Amino acid sequence: MLRQLLRELCHLESHYSCSRSPPSDPRRSFSDINELTPEYCDAIMAAGKSKGLDSCKPPPSKKSKKERNQRKVNENVSSDEILGQIWKEFPEDLFEAVIARLPVSTVFRFRTVCRKWNSMLHSQTFSEQCSQVQQRYPWFFTITHDNFSYGVMYDPSSKKWHHPTLSFLPMKIIALPVASAGGLVCFVDIGHKNFFVCNPLTRSFKELPARSVRVWSQVAVGMVLDESSPKAGYKIMWLGCDGECGVYDSVKNAWFRPGNMPPHIRLPLSLNFKSQAISIGTRLYFMLADPEGIISYDMSTGTWKQFIIPSPPLVADHALAVCGGRIMLVGLLSKNAATCVCIWELQRMTLLWKEVDRMPNIWSMEFYGRHIKMTCLGNKGLLMLLLRSRQMNRVIMYDASKREWTKVPTCTVPYSRKRQWLASGTAFHPCATAVA
């Protein structure tokens, strides 16, 4: 059909070409019918097919489901082969550097991939890689009123609760988490006699040797990590109201007594046991109730200091906190029937507390007319605050660096809707390589 059409066009053009000059472009005219060879017509027809002139071509037949599935399998196999080749050529020294920068929960899921990745947690080079990565948010380890043999951990990044067991602790001993450093948590039994250290993630556990000085009264406990070298270890200090104290050195695995307190520090000390100790570098800070202030001890130099700092007026249940090297104070501010959670920062020049933030008013309205008690369960930049009364039990979180308030999801028993009531806890930076 197309060939006939071309012949007719050529005939018409030859008929009218006598009355005009021949065109200069030979592609637009056919002066000689002999030029229209079969090969030329076939080429024109092929071009027409490429441009859609051949509309009579049937649509492609639909492939069967078996053929489509086989094609997908072949594509998956080829992609798996490519990924396998990439991981095969991946430098060995970068494996640990990459995995060390993953979230801690992801690292523990990767332990089931192969034996090599599982044994990586005990590698010295992997431990050095982890020490170079700065943890963004701490986790929180708490115990509940229901069962002191089980702990709960909260991950603020994923906003999930985890339920590890404390099976490593001796039977019939109730131990409370009181301090942490370097991914390790320090426990003290309710009789303040025995000390334990563990990594809640790996369950690495150690019972500290008996103290040389027997103190049966309540003690304040602080913990620091010597970051001068990976093998420097950690130190734990306990302090009693009578001035007695002791320091545990993990490298020597022994207790020793630091130097005596200077004469300007009056004894007995009125320690505020509701506030956990905080650490900045190698210096520990303990809160005093009377006179109000702070007493500190430097683990590296062995020096004591005392600061008389009056508390803000109308404050209750206050506790120390630390954020970026700054000493903070969190407490309940009550006036008449209104109660609000406030945050203060210590001014170094004047040694006075300056209010820097407070809970949103819409949250504070829930506490109106109620007798609220507050417990600070974590004081390392990210604060976990437990607010409770007879009719209410709330857990909120405050990010001191961003000045943000968030509500913590309810902690429930695994595979149940029963709510767990938090009792005591502390913040710790999760570390998969920390060994007690």
94 and 140 within one domain: no
**Would you state the pLDDT for residue 267?**
86
78 and 45 within one domain: no
Query: CA nearest 199: which of 216, 181, 225, 212?
Result: 181
Residue 435 lies in a domain: no
Mean pLDDT of 310-325: 92
409 and 288 within one domain: yes
State the Rg of the chain over Cα: 37
210 and 234 within one domain: yes
* CA–CA gap between residue 249 and residue 430 (Å, rounded): 21
Domain boundary among 80, 104, 130: 130
Alpha-helical segments (H) within 274-425: 361-364
pLDDT tier at 125 (50, 70, 90 boundaries)?
confident
Domain boundary among 92, 115, 130: 130
Residue 278 lies in a domain: yes
- Can you tell me which residue has the tokens 């959670």? 341
The answer to whether residue 292 scores a pLDDT higher than 50 is yes
Which CATH number do you get for residue 305?
2.120.10.80
Segment 77-92, tens digit of pLDDT? 566 666 666 666 767 6
The distance from CA 357 to its chain's CA centroid, rounded to whole angstroms, is 24
pLDDT tier at 1 (50, 70, 90 boundaries)?
very low
241 and 109 within one domain: no
**Would you state the pLDDT for residue 307?**
93
227 and 190 within one domain: yes
152 and 126 within one domain: no
Q: DSSP characters for 358-378?
A: E--HHHHGGGTTS--EEEEEE
367 and 271 within one domain: yes
246 and 393 within one domain: yes
pLDDT tier at 70 (50, 70, 90 boundaries)?
low
164 and 214 within one domain: yes
pLDDT tier at 50 (50, 70, 90 boundaries)?
very low
**Would you state the pLDDT for residue 16?**
46
Domain coverage including residue 263: 135-428
Least confident of 266-275, 316-325, 363-372: 363-372
Residue 436 lies in a domain: no
Segment 390-399, tens digit of pLDDT? 878 889 999 9
pLDDT tier at 247 (50, 70, 90 boundaries)?
very high
24-60 residues labelled b (16+ CB within 10 A) or e (exposed): eeeeebbeeeeebeeeeeeebeeeeeeeeeeeeeeee
Cβ 284 vs Cβ 222: under 8 Å: yes
pLDDT tier at 34 (50, 70, 90 boundaries)?
very low
The answer to whether residue 215 scores a pLDDT higher than 70 is no
Residue 177 lies in a domain: yes
Q: Positive or negative CA dihedral for 62, 64, 65, 69?
A: negative
Residue 55 lies in a domain: no
Residue 407 lies in a domain: yes
Residue 180 lies in a domain: yes
Q: Give the best-scoring range by mean pLDDT among 31-40, 194-203, 320-329.
A: 320-329
The first and second tokens of residue 223, run together, are: 């913990």
Mean pLDDT of 138-152: 82
Higher pLDDT, 317 or 78: 317
318 and 217 within one domain: yes
113 and 9 within one domain: no
pLDDT tier at 367 (50, 70, 90 boundaries)?
confident
Segment 411-434, tens digit of pLDDT? 888 877 888 888 889 999 888 777
Q: What is the count of structural domains for the chain?
A: 3
